[in-house]
Amino acid sequence: MKSTDQLYDFFKMDKFAMGIGAVIEEVDENSALISVKLTPEHMNGLHVPQGGLVYTIADFAFAVASNAHENSPDYVTLQSSMNFISSSRGSKLFARATAVHRGKTTAVYNASVYDDLGRTIASAVFTGFATKRI
């Protein structure tokens, strides 16, 4: 299992995720938890978090969770599907991606996005493709 510092070193070139203020909160064998403290720059015209932000933190949670293992393939998103459930009125968003399947060529993760008020914002499924084989 890679440490949080190793994961930050690996993902620091993801300027978009780093630019939105994504923080790796937790990583374990099957999941990763990401947070983003909401700022005015994250809001859309209705003053709720922009959908692209919601998708980005879910995708980043998938990326961290699927690439956290030592001696495993590097996965990239091959296909994803997201359902937006509610808008947030909170001050922080969280995304947790949890493994359903990890293989030599593909991985499948479920992701949930929720806010600090306990409201579920979105749910997603990410299918990843291994960019290198082990």
**How does pLDDT run across 14-34, given as a tens digit for each residue?**
999 999 999 999 999 899 999
| CA 8 vs CA 17, 22, 25, 126: distances in Å | 11, 10, 11, 21
Where does residue 47 fall: left (phi above 0), alpha (psi -120 to 50 degrees), or beta otherwise?
A: left
Q: What is the pTM of this model?
A: 0.94
> Could you tell me which residues are beta bridge partners of residue 76?
129
Q: Which CATH architecture has domain 4-130?
A: Roll (3.10)
- Single-letter amino acid code for the residue at 56: T
Q: What number of other Cβ atoms are within 10 A of residue 104's Cβ?
A: 10
pLDDT in tens, 36-85: 999 999 999 999 999 999 999 999 999 999 999 888 888 999 999 999 99
